[in-house]
Amino acid sequence: MTSYTYRKFKNKLFFWLSLGCVIIAVLPLLSILFEVVIKGAPQLSIQFITKPVGIMGQSAGGIGPAIQGTLILIGLTSLIGIPIGVISGIYLAEYGDNKYADSIRIINGVLTGVPSIVIGVTVFLAAVIFLRHFSPLAGGLALSIIAIPIIARTTEESLKLVPNSIREASLALGVHKWRTIISVDLPAAKSALITGILLAVARIAGETAPLIMTILGSQTFFEGFNQPMDALPLRIWRDAQLPYANFQAQAWGAALVLILIVLSLNIGVRIANRGRLVK
Partner 1 sequence: MRPKLSGDLLFKILTTVLAASAAVILIVIAYTLFTGSLPVLKWSGLYFFTGTKWNAVRMLYGALPYMLGTLVTSAIALIIAVPISLGIAIFLADMAPSALRVPISYLVELLAAVPSVIFGLWGLFVMRFWVVKYIETPLSTYLGWFPAFSGTPFGLDVLNAGIILAIMIIPIVSSISREIIQAVPNSVKEGAYSIGATRWEVIRNWELNYGRSGIFGAVILGLGRAVGETMAVTMLIGNAVGPAAIPISLLKPGQTMASLIANDFAEATRGSIEYSAYIGVGLFLLLVTLSINVIAHFIVARSLKIKGGAVE
**Which residues in the 125-184 window bind partner 1 by CB under 8 A?**
125-126, 129, 145, 148-149, 152, 176-179, 181
Q: Least distance from C-beta 164 to partner 1, angstroms? A: 18
Nearest to 215 by CA among 139, 122, 128: 139
Instruction: Please name the residue ranges forming H helices in the chain.
Output: 4-40, 46-50, 64-94, 99-113, 116-123, 129-131, 136-160, 164-172, 177-180, 186-188, 190-205, 209-212, 232-241, 245-278
Taking phi first (over 0 means left), then psi (-120 to 50 degrees means alpha), and beta for anything else, what does residue 53 get? Answer: beta
Chain positions 91 to 120 lying near partner 1, rule: CB under 8 A, are 91-92, 94-95, 100-101, 103-104, 106-119
- Binding status of residue 223 toward partner 1 by CB under 8 A: no
Nearest to 110 by CA among 59, 82, 145: 145
Contact with partner 1 (CB under 8 A): which of 233, 247, 250, 253? 233
Q: Least distance from C-beta 147 to partner 1, angstroms? A: 11
Could you tell me the CA-to-CA distances from 232 to 14, 60, 73, 236, 256 in Å, in that order? 43, 15, 10, 6, 10
Q: Of the listed pieces 49-57, 161-169, 219-227, 237-245, which binds partner 1 according to CB under 8 A?
A: 237-245
**Nearer of residues 100 and 244 to partner 1, judged by Cβ:** 100
- Binding status of residue 236 toward partner 1 by CB under 8 A: yes
Nearest-angstrom CA–CA distance, 269 and 91: 25
Nearest to 208 by CA among 26, 69, 47: 69
- Binding status of residue 244 toward partner 1 by CB under 8 A: no
- Binding status of residue 10 toward partner 1 by CB under 8 A: yes
Q: Least distance from C-beta 83 to partner 1, angstroms? A: 8
Chain positions 42 to 81 lying near partner 1, rule: CB under 8 A, are none
- Binding status of residue 187 toward partner 1 by CB under 8 A: no
Is residue 170 within 8 A of residue 250, CB to CB? The reply is no
Contact with partner 1 (CB under 8 A): which of 221, 237, 242, 260? 237
